Amino acid sequence: MIWLAWRQFRLQAWLAAAALAVLAIALAVTGPGLTHLFDLSGIPGCQNDCGQLAGNFMNALAHTGYELVFYLAVAIMFLIPGIIGVFWGAPLITREIESGTLRLAWSQSITRTRWLAGKLALAGLAAMATAGLLSLMVSWWAVPVDRATGLAAGRTGASGINRFTPVLFGAQGIAPVGYAALAFVLGVTLGVLIRRTVPAMAATLAAFAGIQIAWPLWVRPHLMTPLTWTAPFNPAMLNTLSAHSPDSMTIITGVRLPGSWILTNQTLTASGQADLGPVPAPCKTGTWQACQTALLRLHLRQIVSYQPASRYWEFQWIETGIFLTLALALAGFSFWRVRRRLLG
């Protein structure tokens, strides 16, 4: 069974190896330059408040083209699990159904369970290995960027984009391994249910995209109870002051929590109301100092709910564990379905 599974999987394995090699070369070529730039930025030797140096470094990346490489690498990391699910997972069973070779395979002395186990194991492990290797390469390459974004406090005072925020979380660490496993098994399951290749590929893409969008929005923030940080309103960190209507203003205040994932950031009255009242007169026409004094008199509070940077690896492991468990559950369902029904 191993030989047969390999024989059917050969082309995809070579393509994956070639793609990995190309990416490895690209990252190896640009990696030392990035590290050199990072060493020159002064961040490794800086003791406290390295935010300005980190900001300079990020701007230098934008001007030298490394930022483009970084975004391409992140985009590839986000696309790879979906591509694995669509091109490796969905056709695994449906190709055999459509070409009729399923009947040949099932009329051999090997059981259906053993047959599916061989195919799933080989391609599934290859999928996880591909995603893992890619993630390893990208994470190694992006170490300077991660350190800089973990320090940077932008002019808004917020932690901005860092490896914990949803934009980058799924592109590094071990999360891509879980994603690849789930996407692959999702493809196989939908193939078993739909039994036609192209519709199964489309359904896998839609389902996996839906999971990837819904997960960081509604599930990941609650994997561990967020921490709450609260402090009196600090006018020096004021980001925006605006008024939708004459009686109610909204204030957005920056916060300095480097490397953490900010979930909510609200500026409220002392009693916790979101309605801050009208814009103080000195802020409409007057000096910045007078406006600051007027705002301080309102005794506002800033409440931030966030996941601290120290929890990054816990979140990676929890998320990978959940996705692997889901993958195993779907695989179990596929086995049951293949044994109980005629698919041809």
Partner 1 sequence: MIWLTWRQFRVQAWVAGAALAVFAIALAASGPHLSSLYGSNGLTTCHGSGPCGTAATSFLQQVRHDPLYSALYNACFGLLAAVPALIGVFWGAPLITREIEAGTFRLAWNQSITRTRWLAAKLGLTGLAALAAAGLLSLMVTWWSSPIQAAAPLLPRDANGFSVVLSRFQPLLFATRGITPLGYAVFAFALGAAAGVLIRHTLPAMAVTLAVFAAIQVAMPMWVRPHFISPVTATSRLDTANITGVEFNGPHITVYPGIDLPGAGAWILSSQAVTASGQPFTGPRPKACGAGSFQACQAALGRLNLRQQVVYQPASRYWDFQWIETGIFLALALALAGLCFWWVQRRRLT
- Binding window for partner 1 (CB under 8 A); candidates: 108-116, 134-142, 239-247, 284-292: 239-247
**CB of 177 or CB of 283, closer to partner 1:** 283
Check binding of 40 to partner 1 (CB under 8 A). Answer: yes
Residue 194's CB is within 10 A of a number of other CB atoms, namely 19
Residue 21 in contact with partner 1, rule: CB under 8 A: no
**Does 328 contact partner 1 by CB under 8 A?**
no
Place of tokens 């179990």: 332
Work out how close the CB of 79 gets to partner 1 at its nearest, in angstroms, rounded to a whole number.
9
Judge contact between 128 and 181, C-beta under 8 A: yes
Smallest distance from the beta carbon of 239 to partner 1, in angstroms?
A: 6
Query: CA distances (Å), 15 to each of 10, 24, 28, 140, in order?
Result: 9, 14, 20, 23
Give the burial string for 134-155 (b: 16+ CB within 10 Å, else e). Answer: bbbbbbebbebbbbbbbbbbbe
The interface with partner 1 within residues 139-178 (CB under 8 A) comprises 154-156
What is the size of the binding site for partner 1 (CB under 8 A)?
39
Q: How far is the CB of 227 from partner 1 (least distance, A)?
A: 20
Q: How far apart are CA 329 and CA 309, in angstroms?
A: 31
From 95, 87, 85, select the one nearest 181 (Cα to Cα): 85
Binding to partner 1 in span 253-272, by CB under 8 A: 265
Whole-number minimum distance, CB 121 to partner 1, in Å?
21
Tell whether residue 250 is a contact of partner 1 (CB under 8 A).
Answer: yes
Beta-bridge partner residues of 232: 301
The token duo for 40 is 């020159």
| Least gap, CB of 41 to partner 1 (angstroms) | 5
Q: Which of 27, 34, 41, 81 binds partner 1 (CB under 8 A)?
A: 41
**Least distance in angstroms from the C-beta of 36 to partner 1:** 8
In the complex with partner 1, the residue whose CB is nearer, 114 or 155, is 155
Q: Name the minimum Å distance from CB 111 to partner 1.
A: 27
Q: Does 229 bind partner 1 (CB under 8 A)?
A: no
CA distance 220 to 175: 12
By CB under 8 A, residue 252 contacts partner 1? yes
Q: Which residues are CB-contacts of 272 (< 8 A; sequence separation ≥ 6)? A: 301
Shortest distance, CB of residue 328 to partner 1, whole angstroms?
Answer: 26
Q: How far is CA 291 from CA 33, 161, 209, 274, 294, in A?
A: 47, 30, 46, 20, 5
The CA dihedral of 181, 175, 41, 154, to the nearest 10 degrees, is 130
Interacting residue with partner 1 among 30, 239, 292, 293 (CB under 8 A)? 239
Q: Which of 159, 197, 260, 316 binds partner 1 (CB under 8 A)?
A: 197
Q: What is the amino acid identity at position 257?
A: L
Residue 244 contacts partner 1 per CB under 8 A: yes
57 binds partner 1 (CB under 8 A): yes
Site string for partner 1, 73-92 (x = CB under 8 A): ----------x---x---x-
**Binding-site member from 127, 134, 201, 255 for partner 1 (CB under 8 A):** 201
Q: How far is 222 from 159, CA to CA, in rounded Å?
A: 20
State the sign of the Cα–Cα–Cα–Cα dihedral 335, 339, 342, 344.
positive
Taking alpha carbons only, the member of 57, 69, 42, 84 closest to residue 152 is: 57
Residues forming contacts to partner 1 in the complex (CB under 8 A) are 11, 15, 36-37, 39-41, 56-57, 59-60, 63-64, 72, 83, 87, 91, 95, 98, 154-156, 197-199, 201-202, 205, 217, 239-245, 250, 252, 265
